Amino acid sequence: MNLNTSDNGLSGLKVMVIDDSKTIRRTAETLLKKEGCEVLTAVDGFEALAKISDQKPAIIFVDIMMPRLDGYQTCALIKNNPQFRATPVIMLSSKDGLFDKARGRIVGAEQYLTKPFTRDELLGAIHRHVSTV
């Protein structure tokens, strides 16, 4: 029996959004909270890594272009940790180049979304990569 209040089963799902753009973080957070997700945000990879080990999100969306630790480095660090290797990481970028997509795959990203993303793209990525949904 499904006790979730939302019909798509995202209630209580922990989702992390890592982006140095406040607008992107806020947009994703608003969309995901409407679906019942618990949203964690971080402005860069360093802040995210501390939160990931504490909060253990089910899926992580990470911007590629960030100061200090970019999305590729952040994804590689997540995937190199045995505890989080299976956590899906979705790259976010305003660039839609083949090189960027290939580099995302090399560091272990499951998918690549081009910004600005839509609600359906965000939710589609969650449904595609989180097995409990």
Domains located in the chain, CATH noted: 14-128 (3.40.50.2300)
Confidence of residue 5 (pLDDT cuts 50, 70, 90): very low
When pLDDT is cut at 50, 70 and 90, the band that residue 53 belongs to is very high
**pLDDT tens per residue across span 100-130:** 899 999 999 999 999 999 999 999 999 999 9
Q: What is the spatial distance between Cα 64 and Cα 95, in angstroms, rounded to a whole number? A: 9
The pLDDT value recorded for residue 8 is 58
pLDDT of residue 78: 97
pTM of the model: 0.92
- What's the pLDDT at 19? 97
70 φ, ψ (degrees, to nearest 5) = -80, 175
Nearby residues of 128 by Cβ (< 8 Å), 6 or more positions away? 110, 111
133 vs 106: CA distance, rounded Å: 26
- Quick one: which of 98, 99, 52, 95 has its CA closest to 75? 52
Nearest in space to 17 (alpha carbons), one of 49, 39, 36: 39
